[in-house]
Amino acid sequence: MPLDFRIETTSGKARAGRLITPHAEIETPVFMPVGTLASVKAIPQDTLEELGAQIILGNTYHLYLRPGVETVRRMGGLHGFMSWRRAILTDSGGFQVFSLNELRKVNEEGVTFRSHLDGSSHFFSPESAMEAQIGLGADIIMAFDECTEYPADRERIRSSMELTARWAARSKKHFEEHKHEVPWVTGAGKNHVGTAAVGCAGERQLAGAAELRSAGQPGAAVPTQSEQTQSLFGIVQGGMDRELRRESAERTIEIGFPGYAIGGLSVGEPRELTREIVESTLEHLPADKPRYLMGVGTPEEIVEYANLGVDMMDCVLPTRAARHGLLFTSEGKVSIKQARYAQDPNPLDPNCGCQVCQRYSRAYLRHLYASNEVLAQILNTIHNLSFYLDTMRRVRHSIRLGEECGFLTSVWSRPKP
């Protein structure tokens, strides 16, 4: 079994459960920090582990261009290359090709696009996107889809949704034929110095993982067995049209995947519409499979979507906002660049237990940011990720207690002082 998903408690529409992947056991609902280029920007892997990140994302488009799939594969896949023993999910490259490339050309076969690095021409198809993701070796990989632009008319949404359905079937066919080529099954990179070092670290972590598991801690690495393979998730498209979303869900379920994602949202539509489409699409997804909402959202949104029954979410917001001095706290947003914090001796968030809030003042964080110190990016990112991961921890706790997890929504909707 490449993937095992168990729902342990429900509260309303919300579900708390466990997703067991080849590299780690994950408590859901889960927030997945984004590590575009095999790096969650500004954060070393050991800090991610301390923060309790159970699974992180890699972006196939970026990794394909640099350092290249073959390099990563030879290093034992992303796990070996970046020395990360917990779970990883990669996107198919589709979304990035569509959002970053104005010069893309789409046909039935796939997408031709130009590299944003050097302008060179490349081609992605469902087959090549699978090949790239198998080489990168994440635990969970995504079908190649077309992210429909917003706004779009019904005819355009329909043809795009149908193309995604055909590409999903091709993605699955190629994956089934090649899934045993994943680097941690073939043993690629075993003789590498870097990967050997990972092995030692991994053994240490596996020893620790038993203790973590017995203490009920999430994210603990589980031993990789040779018969284990990746899991391919299908993606539901259909723009902002509820009927086409339903049809997309049905067609994707008919192909059959161990998990389903809702894609094509957060593309410029109003937030109420995002929520409406998420809620109506969830009704058509199988209750016993993990549901992944791609690319959302703010702290109050991730709570809201977990309440609606979403199990997995990712977003660049906490890391990207941190690098721009925008920090999320239990009392609302803080723009640390503001002069009002220049002599503020208080912690960033008095209710946050992260290492930054335990040690540093707002005045110091403001100074670091104003002086363009590298440490500003590191500390701000540690806090924001900690805030997101803690928020999800609290959501899971609320679901297990059978409570509505509205704590953040009420704080965040209050007018700013």
What positions carry a catalytic annotation? 91, 314
Choices 289-297, 311-319, 361-369, 377-385 (CB under 5 A): range interacting with Zn ion: 377-385
Min dist CB 383 to Zn ion, Å, is 4
Distance CA 78, CA 62 (A): 13
- When asked if residue 312 is in the footprint of Zn ion (CB under 5 A), the reply is no
Cβ closer to Zn ion: 161 or 354?
354
Rounded Cα distance, 383 and 189, in Å: 34
Residues shown for the chain: 417
Stretch that binds Zn ion, among 28-36, 215-223, 225-233, 380-388 (CB under 5 A): 380-388
| Per CB under 5 A, 354 contacts Zn ion | yes
- C-beta closer to Zn ion: residue 51 or 232: 51
402: left (phi over 0), alpha (psi -120 to 50) or beta: left
Using the rule CB under 5 A, is 157 a contact of Zn ion?
Answer: no
Q: How far is the CB of 386 from Zn ion (least distance, A)?
A: 5
Q: What are the b/e assignments for 156-187, b being 16+ CB within 10 Å?
A: ebbebbbbbbebbbbbbebbeeebeebbbbbe
Q: What is the footprint of Zn ion within residues 60-99 (CB under 5 A)?
A: none
Residues 6+ apart with CB under 8 A from 277: 240, 242, 245, 262, 265
Backbone angles phi, psi at 171, to 5 degrees: -60, -45
Task: Tell which one of 158, 172, 366, 383 touches Zn ion (CB under 5 A).
Answer: 383
Choosing from 357, 368, 376, 379, the residue that interacts with Zn ion (CB under 5 A) is 357
Answer yes or no whether residue 352 interacts with Zn ion by CB under 5 A.
yes
- Nearer of residues 229 and 386 to Zn ion, judged by Cβ: 386
Taking the complex as a whole, the smallest distance from the CB of residue 40 to Zn ion amounts, in Å, to 16
Query: Do residues 8 and 18 lie in contact, with contact meaning Cβ atoms separated by under 8 Å?
Result: yes
Task: Rank residues 317 and 354 by Cβ distance to Zn ion and give the closer one.
Answer: 354
CA distances from 222 to 65, 210, 244, 293 (A): 31, 9, 39, 25
Beta carbon of residue 42, minimum distance to Zn ion (angstroms, whole number)? 15
Binding of residue 362 to Zn ion (CB under 5 A) = no
Binding status of residue 385 toward Zn ion by CB under 5 A: no
Q: Which two tokens stand for residue 161?
A: 């949704």
Answer yes or no whether residue 327 interacts with Zn ion by CB under 5 A.
Answer: no
CB 179 within 8 A of CB 134: yes
Edge-first strand listing for the sheet containing 140-142: 30-33, 312-315, 291-293, 260-262, 231-236, 140-142, 87-90, 55-58
Distance of alpha carbon 53 from alpha carbon 13, whole angstroms: 24
Stretch binding Zn ion (CB under 5 A), from 54-62, 78-86, 239-247, 376-384 = 376-384
303 lies in the binding site for Zn ion (CB under 5 A)? no
Count of residues of this chain found to bind Zn ion when the rule CB under 5 A is applied: 5
Instruction: Name the segment binding Zn ion (CB under 5 A); options: 113-121, 355-363, 397-405, 409-417.
Output: 355-363
- Cis status, amide bond into 67, omega within 30 of 0: yes
366 binds Zn ion (CB under 5 A): no
Query: Which region, judged by CB under 5 A, interacts with Zn ion, from 156-164, 182-190, 379-387, 409-417?
Result: 379-387
Question: Contact 325/337 with Cβ under 8 angstroms?
Answer: yes
Binding-site ranges for Zn ion (CB under 5 A) = 352, 354, 356-357, 383
